[in-house]
Amino acid sequence: MQQPRNPLHGITLEVMVKELVACLGWEELGRRIPVRCFNNDPSVASSLTFLRRTPWARSKVEELYLLMQRERQT
The domains of the chain are located at 25-67
Q: Is the pLDDT of residue 29 over 60?
A: yes
CA atoms within 13 A on the CB side of 42: 21
Contacts with 26 (C-beta within 8 Å, 6 or more apart), sequence order? 38, 39, 42
Q: Is the pLDDT of residue 4 over 70?
A: no
Q: Is the pLDDT of residue 70 over 70?
A: yes
What integer pLDDT is reported at residue 49 of this predicted model? Answer: 97
Q: 5 in helix, strand or coil?
A: coil
d(CA 42, CA 66): 22
Instruction: Answer for the pair 17, 51: CB distance below 8 angstroms, yes or no.
Output: yes
What integer pLDDT is reported at residue 72 of this predicted model? Answer: 84
d(CA 28, CA 20): 9
Q: Is the pLDDT of residue 7 over 90?
A: no
What integer pLDDT is reported at residue 3 of this predicted model? Answer: 65
Looking at the domain that runs over 25-67, which CATH code has it been given?
A: 1.10.720.30
What integer pLDDT is reported at residue 57 of this predicted model? Answer: 97
